[in-house]
Amino acid sequence: MAGVIDSDGCISVRTSSKKGRQYQNTDIEILLSPDRKCNERFILALRRFDVFSRLRDAKGVHRIQVTSRPDVDRLVESIRPYSVKCKELPRPKHTVHGRHLRAPAEPVARLLGSLFVRPTHLLPRGLWSTFYEIRQGSRVPFKGPLARIAERLAPAVDAETSARLTALAGSDYALDRIAEVRMEEFDGYVFDLRVPDGANFLANGSVVHNCIDELEKMNPQDRSAIHEAMEQQRISVAKAGITAVLQARCAVLAAANPKFGRFDETKFVSEQLDLAPTLLSRFDAIFSLIDHPESERDRNMAEHILRGHLVGEWRRRRSEGKEVADENVEYTEAYSPH
């Protein structure tokens, strides 16, 4: 990281004036690669240092910019021991909050509105007006002031409220604008979660409707990776000399096939699944779906499925204007798949 910034980066301190008042801007700009995906992966690497950056497109080049002063300070402090370009930066007189440091306005206002707070708790720190205006919705909440409010109110509120305020003021998330809202005609609701290359889902208190199918066929290394998440509700990451523990309060829904294709009711389920006991013990509930052979029912089910395929075929022929034989007219009539 330090080598990239020393060779392809620039740390600049610029002074500007507006309405007779001087401002000092400090930012970092990196010209890494013409490949957009390479730049996006570098932005993800910066997040490991708790640094937010953005990608700006220019003619034939992509620029990675770190413009928020707290992010610049965190990055400079992290790479200073290994960099020849990073030096002491002048202390800012006034801090301007970056757009990514915004907190969600509605949840913050709702949480602050539910609190009964005396002005004396916040007046000594000059936070009462900020607290009041955020609660009324007349000021955009930023994480910095919200963190100071959470710290000041910690002794006066219960532990759960204090934890919620601290989480909303945390730096482990950022708000971004929705690029596109598109409606698709469908009889029901479908939520499609997608991430770009190099990114992963972090399920923390959420449910992702993509279960693990055929768990027994997973790579053993991949199966062992979910042990910690299922038992301790967290994930430990150790890459590129960086060690971090990420919260992963999630539930795992998985399906697996028995060793011999059918469950034997006279044996334990653990004996019939090709899974390690250490992994099975982490599931709170295990259900076995048993198919009891029954010739009459199985025959009716097979005929029903075949008839469904035939109905679809004959309807397709009729829509294409092809003739349908009289002996198969029954297959073109109304048909219920249930």
Output the 3-class SS for the chain: CHHHHHHHEEEEEEEEEECCEEEEEEEEEECCCCCHHHHHHHHHHHHCCCCCCEEEEECCEEEEEECCHHHHHHHHHHHHHHCCCCCCCCCCCCCCCCHHHECCHHHHHHHHHCCCCCHHHCHHHCCHHHHHHHHHCCCCCEHHHHHHHHHHHCCCCCHHHHHHHHHHCCCCCCCCCCCCCCCCCCCCCCCCCCCCCCCCCCCCCCCCCCCECCHHHCCHHHHHHCHHHHHHCEEEEEECCEEEEEECCCCCCECCCCCCCCCCCCCCHHHHCCCCHHHHCCCCCCCCCCCCCCHHHHHHHHHHHHHHHHHHHHHHHHHCCCCCCHHHHHHHCCCCCC
Task: Give the pLDDT score at 338.
Answer: 54
Min mean pLDDT across 130-134, 153-157, 328-332 is at 328-332
What predicted TM-score, i.e. pTM, was given to this entire model?
0.45
Task: Give the pLDDT score at 332.
Answer: 46
Q: What average pLDDT does this structure show over 322-330? A: 59
* Percent of the chain residues past pLDDT 70, beyond the cut: 81
Q: What average pLDDT does this structure show over 327-331? A: 51
Min mean pLDDT across 75-89, 153-167, 228-242, 274-288 is at 228-242
Q: How confident is the model at residue 4 (pLDDT cuts 50, 70, 90)?
A: confident
